[in-house]
Each structure stands twice: as C-alpha cells, then as structure tokens.
Chain A
Amino acid sequence: MFSLGVISVMLALLSGLGQSVFWWGVLWGYVLMYLISLVLWYSSVGLAGCWGNFMIVDNFSFSLMSLTILVSGLSMLASVRDVWKMENKTIEFVFSVLILTVILVYCFSVSSLLNFYIMFEFSLIPILLIILGWGYQPERLQAGKYMLLYTVSASLPLLILISMVLVSGGSVFWGWKFLSSEWGWLMTICASLAFLVKLPIYGFHLWLPKAHVEAPVAGSMILAGILLKLGGYGLVRVFYTLSLFSSLTVSGIFCLGLGGGIVASMVCFAQNDVKALVAYSSVGHMSLVLGGIYSNTEWGWLGCLLMMVAHGLCSSGMFFLASETYKFYSTRSLYLVKGGLVLIPGVALCWFLVCAINMAAPPSLNLWGELMLGISVLSYSTVFALLTGIMTFLSGLYSWYLYSVTQHGQCPLWVRGVVVMEEYTLYLISFLLVFLLGVAGLVMMSLL
C-alpha cells in the first residue's frame, strides 16, 4: 500500500520532465503499480492491515484495487491518439487520471465507512473533469450535471445514516456490527440507495448512458470499468458492517433489480448508439450483481466479486472498441457502422471475443460470475429463476446483436480502410483484456 502511494507521488513529480516523458513514464508507473498490487493478493490470512487500522485490505479490496490500476492504465493507453498525439491538455489529463486512480485505490482500502463515503464522492470530481474537459459534444454539460446530481443526492441519506451510527457507536469501522434494526426498512433504503444509483439499477440509471455517450474513451472506460464497481463494493461493505435486514425492502429491491435488468437488456435493442448499447448492457449485468449481494450468501458475494472484475475488464474493452469504431467511421450510430469484417478484420476479431465474453461464453470469468450469482439468486427464491434465465438469454442476444450489426453488412463508402501502424499497438490492449479474462477463467476453473 505504502509503495503504491510513493509511486503515485513520484509519477506526479514526473510532470516537470516534459509531456512525452511524463505520459510514458506514468504508463510504466501504472505497470509497476499493477505488479505491486498483485503482491497484495498473496497474504496468508486473506486480510492485511496497513498503517494501523487506517486501511484494511481483504479479498474484495485486492482484486478491485488491481482492477482499478489496470483499467486506468489501459484507459491512458487507449487515449494515446485522442490526448497525447493531439496535445490536448496532456498533463492535465494525466493528472486527472492519476488522481482518480489514487482516490479509487484508497476508496477500496480504507477501513471506515465515513472515509469510504468521502472517497466515493471525491471520485466524482476527477471524472467530471475528464468528461467536461475531454468530451466531444456540448451535451456533456448536461451529462456531467446529471451524473453529479444523481450520485450526490442519492448518497446523502447514506451520509445521514453514517453520521447517526458514528455519533451513537463512536466509530464506523468495517469489521464491527452496530445497528439494531429499529426502522429496519428505512435504514436499508438509506444504506443502499447511494450504491443503487452508482451501480446503477434500472430506475436510477438515467445518468449512465448520457455520461457514457458524452465521455471521452478514457472516461467511459474508467466509468464502466471501475466507478460502477464502487456501487457493488459499497453494498457489500455496508451490508457486512451494518448487518441490515428488512425482508420486505430487500425483496422489493430484488424485484426492482432483476426486473429492471430484463427491461434494461431489452432497451439495449432500441439503442442506436454503440456506447449507449454497451452502457445499458452494463446496467443489465450490474442488476445480477445486485441480486448476488442481496441474496446474502457467501456464494453471492464471491460471485458478485467475480462478476465485477470480469465485467470491469470486459466492458472497458467494449468501450475501447466502440471508440476505435468511432475513429474509423466518425460515427457511432448502429445504422451506419457496418461491415467491420471487410474493413478491419483485426478489430472485428476483438469485437467477436469481447462480445463472446460479455455474453459469458465458457472460458471467461464472466461465466463463473454469472453461474455463482444465478445459484445464489435461486437460493433466495426460486421465483427469480425465470427472471435470471431471461436475463442471461437476453445478454447473449444483445451481445450477438451488437456483433452482427456492427461487423456484418456493407460498409459505408466514406470509411477509410487503412489501419495505421500505430493502431496495432492499441489492439494489443483489447487482446490483453481478452487474454486476461481467459486466463482468469481457466484459473478459476482449476481452483473449483
């Protein structure tokens, strides 16, 4: 943990050395940080404290921290053309991403609920800066405002709850359980509303497609890859800490989540923007994560962790490919983006793999996540079998829909068919993502 902090400070100091040194220095720094964060996985007790009780790291934190560092590094790599080559406020961009990474890493490792809340909100400022500073359309203002107001307003009940627990119990440390369940339903809603919006589940999701459509590639990669996972992580933590229980509310949220997941999956087919489609597909996947958490079983929580990591890698890969498509076609409209197989076969292969992973095809981590989540949801009530089944089916359907609509058909005449040399390096990114997913799935298989 300490070395992660030191590295990030040293990376910030690199800014004096000029733009290109800074950019690539920070990228290699991310590689280093990623390797160091992997060391944290090998702790003997599955729990590591740092700086006294200030930071506590366990299974959930390890994997999400590594995911954070990986995805933010990749998002910088993905915006080489947008930001570094164009000299589009390079240093400010790198600083925003770096600060966001540091905030998120700390967010995943602090031990108190209040600190988590503060970091949770703090992460909004850099992502707002990224969307506003490097987005494309003027609508990004509205998107940014939506995002900020949705998240902040939903998280204020949580703040009240935290301050009440803090005053009555004296501390909001993760590991303790304080709250007696008077007014259990209100407590449950207060505690989970912030994260339901952040995940987001259907009904609280309006900010997400807007933010994704307007964000630059790095912004939407980070948003889908990490920031949505804050919601799942927070739910696990809050439920573990406060041991809330109110069967009626939980059932209600369950129904909203799973039913909304189906609706969101169906809404996918009505989208005409690639990015919006991917955003809605992540709403669908996240509702399954919600089901895993609320089923209140160990399997559900582990499955939710698997799903979050897998979806973090997969959806950021999809957003990267969407931005690549935008570079070729100068549009993201599904009516115009056609014929990728003829035009850019390498990218088409990436699309194929990522779509297969998004629909949870066998060797991937997504499959394991989805299986574990499905089983834990069924253990809550067999009624949900139908909903989960439909959702899995629909996720397969829209993944292939996305693939076939963008890659088949006749490609428009204005599109340039040449792949520039430098783009080959970029495809390595998505291959890397795919590769990681495959390896992770195999490892999981051998473990189980």
Chain B
Amino acid sequence: MKSPNKLLFMFLMISSTCLVASSSNWLTTWMGLEINMLGYIPLIFLKDNAMESEAAVKYLIPQSVGSTIFISSAIISNYFNNLQILMLIAMCLKLGVAPFHFWFPPVMATLQLIPAFILLTWQKIAPILVIASLNTLLLKMIMPIAVISALWGGVGGINQTDIRSLLTYSSIGHTGWMLASIASNHMIMFSYLLTYILINASIFTFLLKENMKSYKQLFYSKESTKMFILTISLLSLGGLPPLTGFLMKLLVLMFTEAKMVIIFGLITGALMSLFYYLSLTFSVLLNMSKINLTKHMMNTKESTLFLLSQILPLTMILFFF
C-alpha cells in the first residue's frame, strides 16, 4: 500500500466519492461512480496473483453494468418517468444488496484484507448517497429490497467458515438496515453508516494484525485481550443491546415509518445474523479458556479506547431517555 501509484489511486477513490456526494446532476454523479471504481480496482492488487485479478474482473463487470444502467436510465427517465426505478436498482447492484448481491461474496472471498475492508466500508458510501438523493416516492419502494437484504444477510452467513465472507453477509444485512432507514431520515442513515464503518474498522484492525482469514485461525491467537476486544466488537456488529451496534438499530427502529411487517423482517434478519456472530465469538471464547489469562496483562491504552467506543453510547442512551 505504500507505493506512489497506490497513493494516487487512493486519492482518486476518495475524491471521487466526494464528487458523488457533492454533485448536483446525474452526469457528474455517474462520472464520480466510474472514477471511484477505477480508483478502487488497482488497490485490489497487493500480491499480484491470479486470485486478485479474478476478483478485479468479478468486481469490474457488475460495477460497470450498474453504472451503465444508471446513466442510461437517468437519461431515459426524462421521457419515461417510471424508469427511475432502474436507477435505484442499479445502485443496489453496485451496493451488493440482496437480490443483486451475487457478485459480492466471491469477490470478497478472494481479496486481501485491506481491499476487503475498503470494499466493505468506503465503497458503500457513494452508492448509498446516490440512493439517498433519489425521489422520495421512489424511496418507499426500497423497503422490500431492504427486507430481502436483511434476511439474506442472515441466512447466507450461517454456514460460512471464512471470516471475510461472513463479514460480507453481515454487510449485506446491515446495508438492508441502512436502506430501511433512508426513507425516514437521512441523518440516521449517515450515523448508521458511520458506526458500521467504525465497528468494522475495529474488527479489521485486529484481523490485519494477525493476518487472519479463516475461522479456525482464531483458535491459534495468543493475545487474549485482543481476542476479548474482537469478541465484543463482533457482538456489537450483531447488535446485542448495550453495545454501540444496538444503538444504531434502535435509532432506525424508532424513526422508521415502515410497516410492521417490514420491521419484523429486518429484525428477523438481524437475529439470524446474531447466530453466526455468536458462533464466531464462541471460537474466540473457547480459545480464551485454554490460555491462562493472567499472564497477559491488559494493554491499558487499547482497552480504554475500546471501552470508550463501545460503552460511551450506552451511557448516552441511559441518561437521555
């Protein structure tokens, strides 16, 4: 990641997202999306092997198809207003939301950890911003997609043994929640996205340190404090009540205008995903019971920061309701 061309592409990726965020017409939006894709693809190549180029192609095709559908439907919808829904669908394709998610897990499974992290977090921002700036009537139609995505995120992850594909399915589920919150209030969606990115960052910091990809590797880690932190972050991503992940789900639930059925579907999806976070947590916890914890003293700086990030929102919610 340190070579100058990587830095250049990183800059392209970040600035193009800003371009999408600040654009006033669909043409610049489309340009931003394309540049974003072009900036991300070279970042995939960390080791220059065949797997990565396969991932790059698998990523390129759905993304470019999505952008093409997006710009063409944006142009045509001047004449046929109904076709605006295609823009929505194109963006869902780019996001990897459930009925259009089939490119997402295979790409993630072949990526290195850093590009995987970028794909899970930063690459979500631009398409979701585009969806947020669509017509509000159109946004009502997003609810079925949101529910399917939340449910599929729950079902798909159950039998995965690779942490990256697990996180992929969890991201599909979370994107469903984000889409559900778009229709109510944008600020909630933004805070959800931000919190999601931060929790993912804490998980990936740990995974990167040990270069972990599969489930079983968790058994062999030696640093118990970090394991504990990973456990809590995973449960937080699953949305277990006192943790930060619960707070964002609560906000979505409180301010959504969706029907009961949709809320029910979202929650069922979240529950099913809690199941696989738990399985992941268990392998960590079992390992903790094998090693003697007292030998590894807590790293105070890390654990303090962690406690602040996971428990502080709790105190907020306790005192304000």
Binding site for B on A (CB under 8 A): 54, 89-92, 110, 112, 114-115, 117-122, 124-125, 129, 132-133, 141, 144-145, 148-149, 152-153, 156, 159-160, 163, 166-167, 171-172
Contacts and interface: CB of A to CB of B under 8 A. Distances in A.
Contacts of B286: 132, 141
Contacts of B288: 133
B130 interface: no
Given A118-B314, A125-B240, A172 B282 contact: no
B319 interface: yes
B255 A167 contact: yes
B241 interface: yes
A101 to B, nearest CB: 15
Contacts of A125: 235, 240, 242
B285 A89 contact: no
A141 B317 contact: no
The secondary structure that dominates the A interface is helix
B321 to A, nearest CB: 5
A144 B289 CA distance: 15
B138 interface: no
B240 A163 contact: no
Contacts of B294: 89-91
Contacts of A54: 318-319
Q: Which of B241, B267, B317 has the most A CB atoms < 10 Å from its CB? A: B241
Contact of A118 (B241, B267, B271, B275): B241
A45 B319 CA distance: 25
Contact of B271 (A91, A124, A149): A149
A333 to B, nearest CB: 25
Interface residues of B, number: 30
Contacts of B235: 125
B292 interface: yes
Contact of A121 (B241, B253, B278, B321): B241
B321 A152 contact: no
Contacts of A115: 317-318, 321
B187 interface: no
A148 B254 CA distance: 24
Contacts of A119: 242
Interface in B227-255: 235, 240-242, 246, 250, 253-255
B242 A122 contact: yes
Nearest to B274: A152
B253 A160 contact: yes
Contact of A129 (B253, B279, B285): B285
A89 B282 contact: no
B312 interface: no
B293 A153 contact: no
Contacts of B292: 89
Contacts of A120: 241
A39 B292 CA distance: 40
B278 A133 contact: no
Contacts of B318: 54, 110, 115, 118
Given A160-B253, A160-B260, 15 more contacts: A92-B293, A115-B318, A115-B321, A117-B241, A118-B241, A118-B318, A120-B241, A121-B242, A129-B285, A132-B286, A133-B288, A159-B253, A163-B254, A166-B254, A166-B321
Nearest to B239: A152
B263 interface: yes
23 contacts: A89-B294, A91-B294, A110-B318, A115-B317, A115-B318, A118-B241, A118-B242, A119-B242, A121-B240, A132-B285, A141-B286, A144-B282, A145-B275, A145-B278, A145-B279, A149-B278, A152-B240, A156-B271, A160-B253, A163-B250, A163-B254, A166-B321, A171-B321
Contacts of A90: 294
Given A114-B317, A118-B241, A133 B289 contact: yes
Given A121-B242, A159-B250, A160-B263, A114 B321 contact: yes
Nearest to B288: A133
A425 to B, nearest CB: 25
Contacts of B242: 118-119, 121-122, 125
Contacts of A148: 274, 278
A124 B254 contact: no
Contacts of B282: 132, 141, 144-145
A109 B294 CA distance: 34
A92 B298 CA distance: 12
Q: Which 7 A-B pairs have the closest CB atoms?
A: A121-B241, A122-B242, A163-B254, A163-B253, A114-B321, A132-B285, A156-B267
Nearest to B235: A125
